[in-house]
Each structure stands twice: as C-alpha cells, then as structure tokens.
Amino acid sequence: MPHTRFTDGATELVASCSSAPLFNHVVRTYLFAASIGKKLGKAFDEEMLYLGCIMHDLGLTEKFIKDARFELDGADAARQYLVDNKFPEEKAEVIWDAIALHATMELPERKRPEIALVHLGAFMDGGMNANIFPLSFFEEVFEELPQNGNKTHFIELVANVLRKKPHTAYLSFEKDIGVKMVEGFPTINYCDIKPNYPFNR
C-alpha cells in the first residue's frame, strides 16, 4: 500500500469514523482494485487509487451523511479533505469521480483506470468477477482483513442512510420504467443475491 502524507491522513480519517467491517471493506477494495489493475495490465496512479478506495464509503458514515446520495456525500467529503490538505485539485477531481461513480454499473469502466478500478475493487469485495483470481488469493486477504458479516452490515448502513433521506433512492428511474412498462421485466433485489464462498462470511 502506498504511504504518503495524503494516504496516511485519509486512512486515519476513515478509521476514525468507520465501523470495523466498513474499514476492512475499503482496505480490501484497494487490494482488489490494485490486483485487478495489475492483472489487466492497466497503468494507474497508486496514490490516487488508494485515496479513491479508502474513502469511497465515507458517505455511509454518520460524520459525512449530508443531503445527497451516499456516493456523492462521500465524494464531496473526500475532495474537501484533499483540497484542505493541498492535494492537487485536478487529481482530487478524478478521485471525486471515482467515488461518485463507484456504485454505478458500466459507466466507471469506460473512464480512466483509477475510476474504473475503484468500482471493480468495491464490487469484487462482494464477489463480482472473482473468477479471475484463485480462491487462495481471497482466503489470504480475508484472513488478514476479515469480512465480519460485511454484506449484511453494508445493507444496514445503506438502510440507515435511506431512513434519513429516502428521496435519494428514487434517482435511478430505469428500473421503475421497466417494471411499469415491460411485460415480464426481471427484477433482481441486491439483498437477495447470495455470493459464493468465501464472500458469504
């Protein structure tokens, strides 16, 4: 993991306001993101990738819950931390994009590597695209950074945000149109997806 005054400060910030399962998730996100990047032969800035990964869920913490979607609250908080600490503003904007888009499907993968990899690393921690690495790789990561019921905890954190600001769940309209207008439209609920071992602990 990269160690600069920015990454060390960001780690301290995230650790100070995150639960243990959430903190482990964001650290694993970096490990997975960096590993995916190297596997795919992507050139990326390790410091920027780490900052995007470690701060990508700040919007789920009580300290940084504001008025927008949790991804945007987190992106705003991360950018503010970086700008306040004199991190280059152009790079801070890339990290804002990475965090704001990390939970969106398809779009991040069309952006620059740091943005794409934050998304891919976060979703790999839920089991997506896990077939590109051997089981032993994940077991080693989870031994060092336990899941501690990560998926259930994550769902509860998002539910906590939505209790405070339910309007932010209405901002993606395609599924609503599909259910209303397309006969037999398939609906998949994230809460019902059962990830394979070792992601189901």
- Would you place residue 192 in the very low, low, confident or very high pLDDT band (cuts 50, 70, 90)? confident
Alpha-carbon distances, residue 157 vs 12, 160, 161, 187, 190 (angstroms) = 20, 5, 6, 22, 14
CA distances from 160 to 88, 154, 167, 171 (A): 33, 10, 13, 17
DSSP codes of every residue in 121-180 = HHHHTTTTTGGGS-HHHHHHHHHHS--SSHHHHHHHHHHHHHHH-GGGGGS--HHHHHHH
Summarize pLDDT for 135-151 with one digit per residue, the tens. Answer: 999 999 999 999 998 88
Helix (H) or strand (E) holding 47: helix 46-54
Residue 56 — very low, low, confident or very high, per pLDDT cuts 50/70/90?
A: very high
Task: Please state the rounded mean pLDDT for residues 14-43.
Answer: 98
Gap between the Cα atoms of 47 and 44, Å rounded: 9
Percent of the chain with pLDDT over 90: 79
Q: Which residue has the higher pLDDT, 12 or 173?
A: 12
Give the C-alpha separation, 23 to 145, whole Å: 9
Alpha-carbon gap, residue 154 to 173, rounded angstroms = 23
CA distance 57 to 30: 12
Q: How many angstroms separate the CA atoms of 34 and 45, rounded?
A: 10
Per DSSP, the residues of 80-121 read HHHHHTT--HHHHHHHHHHHHHTTSSSSGGGS-HHHHHHHHH
Give this prediction's pTM.
0.93
For each of the domains in the chain, give its residue range(s) and CATH number, in order of start. Answer: 5-192 (1.10.3210)
Among the listed ranges 36-45, 46-55, 110-119, 189-198, which one has the minimum average pLDDT value?
189-198
> What pLDDT is stored for residue 171 in this prediction?
65
